[in-house]
Structure 1
Amino acid sequence: MARAPKPRSNPALRFAAVRRIHTYLGLLIAPSVLLFALTGALQIYKLHEAHEAYVPPPVIEKLGMVHKVQVYRAHGKRPGPPAAEGARPAAPTAAKPPEAKPPEAKTPAKPKLAVTLLKAFFLLVSIALAAATVLGAWMALAYGREKTLSWILLGAGTVIPAVLIILSAP
């Protein structure tokens, strides 16, 4: 007795399901992707850190910390390594003070052309990622069938990380 061939699933339906899953996941993570694309662009040129005469706005410094260590706070003093219980501080030793070295005249090194071009390319990538994320979310909201679910996922993708960032603040 011959078996009947198995019916094949419709590739168009399978593609539609994959596209729908992609849309919903994209809406959920779009706010975080946008945050990381923009804060990453700032970090390329170290705009989240104070240097020379530049002091970043506090919100930029704090968002840089979210990007790097997932905590919304300014750099400040970093705690040292935790001390073991019952451990005593090391006794000072009678060591000679370090000899003073004459200051060397250092000129700031110019970045290599390749480094400058790489930073510019990564800045372009960050901007393109942010633009693609915004366009993708707009397309999902404007042309998707499930508009209510799309707005709920975009809202959840915005609120959940915001709440967790607030809870992570010291």
Structure 2
Amino acid sequence: MTSAALLKSVRLTHRYLGLFFSPTILFFAITGGLQMFSLHETTRGSSYVPPNILVHLAQLHKKGTLYLPPRKITAPNSAKPDGPKPEAAKLPQASPATPQPNSLPTKVFFAATALALAISTCTGIMMGWKYARRKLTVLLVLAAGVFIPVILLLV
């Protein structure tokens, strides 16, 4: 195989693999960026209730399924004895306060990375379309990249 033929086959393989996996890459970039700011979950003491779509998309991103396990309801433990408690258990131990690191810059950087990955994937799809001689093949591969994961999810 000549160098030009090898390069052409590598380019075609790259094009069609990229087109096939681009919907999945877009999905993971977008849902990962949203999860960076915990938009899919409620935090303790907060009145924020995430939209169901974000909860389900995060579940699909993390666990590969739309099935949400039922929440465990913890009942107050009424079986505790009301007897005397040791003095040591009443007083919290003094521990040196360690400052929490600021994670916002890291979150912003990773969210920017997710955005850049989404933009790069979209431009790759555009280039795959524009420079392809067989536009129908491009559409079929792209459609397969959308429908095959959906079918696998529903099976």
Q: 1:53 to 1:14 in 2, by over 3 A?
A: same
Q: In 2, Cα distance between the equivalents of 1:123 and 1:144?
A: 31
Could you say which residue in structure 2 is the equivalent of 1:41?
33
Q: Is the 8 A contact 1:65 1:71 kept in 2?
A: yes
Matched, 1:124 2:112: yes
- Percent identity, aligned pairs only, is 35
- What TM-score, normalized to structure 1? 0.71
What is the 5 A alignment of 1:1-170? 9-51=1-43, 52-74=46-68, 76-77=70-71, 96=81, 112-113=101-102, 115-167=103-155
Q: Tell me the number of residue pairs that the alignment of Structure 1 and Structure 2 aligns.
A: 138
User: As a proportion of its length, which structure holds more helix?
Assistant: 2
User: Which amino acid in the other structure matches residue 49 of structure 1?
Assistant: E
Amino acid of the structure 1 residue aligned with 2:18:
G
Gaps of 5+ in 2: 73-78, 93-97
| Structure 1 outlier segments of 4+, above 6 Å | none
In the alignment, structure 1 segments of 5+ residues that lack a partner are 1-8, 79-93, 104-108
State the structure with more CA Rg. Answer: 1
Report deviation, 1:140. 0.5
Tell me the equivalent position of 1:3.
none
Shift of 1:36: 0.4
In structure 2, the CA distance between the partners of 1:45 and 1:11, relative to structure 1 (3 Å rule), is: same
